[in-house]
Structure 1
Amino acid sequence: MKALLRAVPRGWVAALVGITAMSGLSASTAVAAEQPPHFDDGNGITVVAQPQWVDEEQRTFKLTVRSDQVPEHPAMQEQVSGEHVILVTLPAEYDGTTRYPVNYSLHGAPDRPDSLLNKLINERATEDVPLITVTPNGGGRGWYSNWVSPGSSGEQNWETFHLDQVIPLIDANLKTIPSRAGRAITGHSMGGFGAFHYAQHRPELFSYVGSFSGDLDLLNPEMRAAITASTKWPAAGTPLDPPDAIFGSPVWPLDGIWNAQSPAQHVESLRGMGVAIYAGNGGNLLDNTVQAVAEHRVRETAVVASANLKAAGIPHEFVDYGDGTGWGEGCNGKHAQYPCLQADMNHYVDLIMERLQHP
């Protein structure tokens, strides 16, 4: 049933709802729109804009907060520095009394948590699933880390913001299962790094971790080049920062923080946790070359992480879907490609719901 619902085009769903309403078969549903849950301040977070539904379906809302851990940040177009949007998708049956597990889904770079892509992926993967999905602002290049030398951007404690502030905020204001048994985390690209990074630093918080084409190996010189370059990339936010702002110098022998924070080399703390890794090979490298090459290279970091997990005897799922054939309709193995990401999330949600405590 769940797979069938995911496959139904959104326009068909809207049409069916309209027909039902016009027929008078569900007149009891014609009531005033309910407001999304109210959020209170706490743990260093100030709510500056209460939750608002993003559309008439009333499953997904966004709220805006400020944090004393990231008081300002390099802002992208249509963002306000220091204001952090959090996107939340509720189960269709959410009633404010039943408690549900939460999947934290971390976006890539440069992206916004409330992009249409993130909304669609979260909603379609959780049709008929008793799961809350939360996508917090990770900045255009926050890298889900407490920066070493942030320069003109000021304090950038993204890890503290998310783990010590956002998670308690969600648990305090929504009916969650506020324990490891009710919490999973995943992410795409930069967010895949962030998911593994957070799960490794705080394994008591999560029972499952996933990476969708994540940058998992910081010993890889190509990953180091991409991350340092992002500090000088206006599309990922301004003001710009020094190349060593996030993890310090990437050059030996000054690269100790890069080595210490690399997920692929620090898998031991994932023991006992569910682990899933997804990556393609870029498919035809002459088709959409930039995204093809990007996926081809991040796959190498997934291979390293998987090999280290295997060597440590840690069970995990590595979905190495190549050019996307048979993985998701329209997926051809490129980086940041919607059909591939939707297939990743659909599969991941099925995995975590086998382990998470839920109604």
Structure 2
Amino acid sequence: MTRTPHRWRRLVALLAAVVGIVGTATAAAPAQAAAGTGAPPRMTDGYGLTQTDQAVGDRTDFYLTVTTPEVAGKHHIKIILPSGYYDDPARRYPVLYFLHGSPDDPIQQNYPALTMSNAMITVIPDGGARGWYANWLNQNTPAGAQNWENFHLNQVIPFIDANLRTVATKKARAVAGVSMGGFGAFHYAQDRPDLFSQTASLSGDIDLSVDSMDLRLAVVASLIDAQGVVCGSSSGACDPNNDPYKPAVDSDALFGTPYPLFNADWRWNAADPSQHMDKLAGIGVSVYVGNGRGVATEPEFWLEGASKHVKDRMDALGMPYHYVDYGDGAAWGSHCNGAHNGGCWEQDLLDLIPRLERAFAS
């Protein structure tokens, strides 16, 4: 049966009610106090970024607040330096860019594993509640300017290279992300393979094709604020006054129409990581996912299918990759239950970070 856009919109609302917005998850346990004492290093404005407040935190674990013409509002950039960063002023470090999920914030990325490396810098830029790590097609919505890709790739990366002792090369740069950030990590590495040597998806929305229409509709739900619709029609389902997806925008704001009629959704297909895995040739690719314990109301259940689609594409291309499907999480750390949450992502990072260190050092 051919579905009209109106039918798709009803499915979007249903999806938001049943599985929630993909990316909302239980936070990992707070990190222990970072090594070192004293104030964060002073950073110099540039590349279109203006700091609006003093950095918050200590000298190795802190965040900045910046503005940029590329994206409306103020934005946090969290930075984690190796504990020995100040011991050798001549030493330079590779960088992991870690992209958060929806509707999270860099400050909330307190996975202990992110502080474990003494061999690399970790940078966590703001991706918005539903920025989707892309330059939106429509810049004239109530959300204002939404050029997230320009912000991260053209501004944050050179800003970090100018202010910190980085190794500013493709070989020494990785991008990884959780949920919405998993999409961002693959999308950025595909758009700019000259910038990154490693990319990783942790429970990522890495298939937005019609093969994973459930995930595409979850993206749409975040745009049109289907959560607000559900809150407004359900008693006690959620707090409509604490809605991170306000203001609502049109379903076409991000990549044009999402409805697969007469190839009208071609921009979604162009941005879909699963259809362009060939662009990651020569880049180290890692995929981590669970199975949501087989429960269809658990987002991880749907993300497992998306990850399998990507694996099939890589197999067809003969690409090397690191793929972990930890199922119900029983063998993947004591805090992982196979669901879409920080306990599983912490275990993913415990596996990923040493592998990145070895790749950087090779």
- Asked if TM exceeds 0.5, the reply is yes
| 1:325 maps to which of 321, 330, 343 | 330
Aligned to 2:231: none
Within 2, Cα distance between the matches of 1:275 and 1:172? 27
For the 8 Å contact 1:39–1:50, the answer to whether it is kept is no
1:119-198 matches, within 5 Å, as: 119=110, 121=111, 123-150=112-139, 151-198=141-188
Partner deviation per Cα, 1:186-223 (whole Å, 9 max, x = no partner): 00000000000000000011110000000011112111
Within 2, Cα distance between the matches of 1:47 and 1:330? 37
Within 2, Cα distance between the matches of 1:128 and 1:112? 21
Partner deviation per Cα, 1:302-348 (whole Å, 9 max, x = no partner): 0011110111111001101100011111211001x222000101111
**2:111 is aligned with 1:107:** no
Partner deviation per Cα, 1:97-149 (whole Å, 9 max, x = no partner): 4211110110000111101xx12x1x434425311111100000000000012
For the 8 Å contact 1:186–1:211, the answer to whether it is kept is yes
Within 1, Cα distance between the matches of 2:330 and 2:85? 36
For the 8 Å contact 2:62–2:78, the answer to whether it is kept is yes
Aligned to 1:83: 74
Matched residue type, 1:239: P
Within 2, Cα distance between the matches of 1:344 and 1:259? 28
Secondary structure at the residue paired with 2:292? coil
How many residues align? The count is: 310
Aligned to 2:47: 43
TM-score, normalising length: structure 2: 0.81
| 2:244 maps to which of 233, 236, 245 | 236
**2:56 is aligned with 1:52:** yes
Q: Percent identity?
A: 42
TM-score, normalising length: structure 1: 0.82
Within 1, Cα distance between the matches of 2:346 and 2:66? 28
What is the Cα deviation at residue 269 of structure 1? 1.4
Aligned to 1:300: 305
User: Root-mean-square deviation (CA), in Å?
Assistant: 2.0
Unaligned ranges ≥5, structure 1: 1-8, 18-28, 73-81
Partner deviation per Cα, 1:207-241 (whole Å, 9 max, x = no partner): 10000000011112111110111013253332211
For the 8 Å contact 2:94–2:172, the answer to whether it is kept is yes
What is the Cα deviation at residue 277 of structure 1? 0.2
For the 8 Å contact 1:107–1:187, the answer to whether it is kept is yes
Within 1, Cα distance between the matches of 2:207 and 2:38? 45
Unaligned ranges ≥5, structure 2: 1-28, 229-242
Aligned to 1:250: 258
Matched residue type, 1:155: A
Within 2, Cα distance between the matches of 1:180 and 1:186? 14
Within 2, Cα distance between the matches of 1:34 and 1:128? 20
Within 2, Cα distance between the matches of 1:69 and 1:297? 32
Aligned to 2:214: 222
For the 8 Å contact 1:101–1:357, the answer to whether it is kept is no
